[in-house]
Amino acid sequence: MSPPCDMQSNRPASRKQKTMNRREFLKTAGLAVGGLAASQFIPRFALAAPSPRQLAIDTRTLEVKGKAATVYGLTENGKPGLTFAPGERFSVALANRLKEDTIIHWHGLTPPWEQDGVADNPLPMLKPGETRPYDFALEEAGTFWMHAHTLQEQNLLAAPLIVHSKEDLSADRQEVVILLHDFSFKPAEELLSALTGGRGGHMMHGGHQMDMGGKMDMGSMGKMPMQHDMKSMGSGHDMSAMGGMSAMDLNDIEYDAYLANDRTLDDPEVVTVEKGGRVRLRIINGAASTAFHLTTGKLSAKLVAVDGHPIVPMTGDTFPMSMAQRIDLDIEVPKDGGAFPILALREGTGDRTGIVLATAGAKIERHPAKSGSKAPPLDLTLESALRSAKPLTERRPDKSVMAHLTGDMASYQWALEGLQDLKLKSGERVEIAMMNMSMMAHPMHLHGHAFQVVDIDGKRFPGAMRDTVLVPPMKTVTIAFDAGKPGHWPFHCHHLYHMVTGMMTHIEVA
């Protein structure tokens, strides 16, 4: 049976009343499609949001593979996450209803440093029963998210954080938010100690050394966006990352399940869409240590933003998403309708999760949570083809530094070296070249800033604005940004277990 969850992904684009449009009819269309319960499309109108918004950190019960699991929740009036109207401030009262300390980071936002939400940087975690006010201007619209900056993130203390633009509200399109996660019945502390407990850690992630002996199924990966739009850019897939594959570590942890909006593919969320309708998918990889390829299958998608920042649109059907990254995809539902799985394929394995978009009456096929073919490792093919639609102004950097990403599976000690003495002043342009000396890929996240990807392995280009970029093994990725608000800004790998075992530093902005 479906867990009784009413995900925010069925919200319409607007918090305000809209004129009738061609998908209004869906609001009364309670559907049961192909034996699976179809989520109802319930528009929510017009109520001016109370200020401050009341966001509660609590626990809730999910059913995962037929077993009950107690996980965290981040809810406003029982609904996960927050959606802000254009021009609305981030005025939030965060209430800790747990019996333990916690704190929430607003991933991708640019608040004053004190409100960034990392423990003791500078504020302590919230005590049980404590409520803490947050108030700052939301500077950009986009797909962001929020999560605990602690091991609690593993146990689903994460939720969407969407900031709407005026264009979002006037556009005639349905919005669907998908939060991906990796799930274990074991506590995060146990997962961590298995990794750090010497050789035992190395053994528990059986199969992490990917078998590349012809087993990788590129065919199932669909067409990379590059092959549609960017032929002139280069030669398709970047195979170089696969050269020394026998030594490349892909997944540290074998999880019990992979979730999309809290559900597995055995019982996926089914979102009702309109024949011929337009849909914006806002997809968030909230997994603690899992990278996915997001695939729209038969539907062609237009990638319009990454990490909440607009790009020159690209068409494709398969998109890499490392931990903490987001993508916004525009799709059109075919006029004759049907059911359309939106799947996330875990790199290096056949594990997958996802949701289904379905028009009224469509037959919904089941998609097993394990496919016979392994998804390849993420690479930078798409990254190197992305072009920001709102790039930084071009100027020479005031400071250029090199950082090294180091560590290995055997010792399970990871580090981000070379930035300890970096002191910036607000407004200074800085470039950081990150060279990955390890055999794992690291999704690197800088707090309080958006950066632009400007160079990969010595090839300069005006890439995407982001807050999290993947640096695969033996690759060098350079980011540029203008130092923002004063603070002691965390800069770290967004693989939870790499972060807590040392791949974290701070950037000082005075």
Residues that bind Cu ion (CB under 5 A): 442, 493, 495, 498
Q: How far is the CB of 108 from Cu ion (least distance, A)?
A: 18
Q: Which is nearer to Cu ion, 260 or 493 (CB)?
A: 493
Q: Which is nearer to Cu ion, 164 or 495 (CB)?
A: 495
Cα within 13 Å of Cα(482), Cβ side: 9
Q: How far is the CB of 200 from Cu ion (least distance, A)?
A: 20
Q: Which is nearer to Cu ion, 225 or 286 (CB)?
A: 286
CA distance 464 to 467: 10
Q: Which is nearer to Cu ion, 305 or 493 (CB)?
A: 493
Q: How far is the CB of 440 from Cu ion (least distance, A)?
A: 6
Partners of residue 301 on adjacent β-strands: 316, 331
CA distance 185 to 177: 25
Q: Which is nearer to Cu ion, 183 or 497 (CB)?
A: 497
DSSP 3-state of 93: strand
Q: How far is the CB of 344 from Cu ion (least distance, A)?
A: 19
Q: How far is the CB of 294 from Cu ion (least distance, A)?
A: 20
Which H or E run includes 136? strand 131-136
Q: How far apart are the first and last CA of the chain?
A: 54
User: Is the sign of the CA dihedral 442, 443, 444, 445 positive or negative?
Assistant: negative
Q: How far is the CB of 237 from Cu ion (least distance, A)?
A: 23
CA distance 307 to 301: 17
Q: Which is nearer to Cu ion, 144 or 412 (CB)?
A: 412
Structure tokens at 508: 């000082």
Q: Annotate 290-307 with b (16+ C-beta within 10 A) or e (fewer).
A: bbbbbbbbebbbbbbbbb
CA distance 251 to 248: 10
Q: How far is the CB of 104 from Cu ion (least distance, A)?
A: 22
Cα within 13 Å of Cα(22), Cβ side: 10
Q: How far is the CB of 157 from Cu ion (least distance, A)?
A: 20
Q: How far is the CB of 500 from Cu ion (least distance, A)?
A: 11
In 109-221, which ranges are continuous DSSP H helix? 166-170, 188-196, 199-204
Q: Which is nearer to Cu ion, 5 or 403 (CB)?
A: 403
CA distance 466 to 446: 9
Q: Which is nearer to Cu ion, 104 or 493 (CB)?
A: 493
For strands 90-96 and 53-64, give the pairing: parallel
Q: Which is nearer to Cu ion, 107 or 498 (CB)?
A: 498
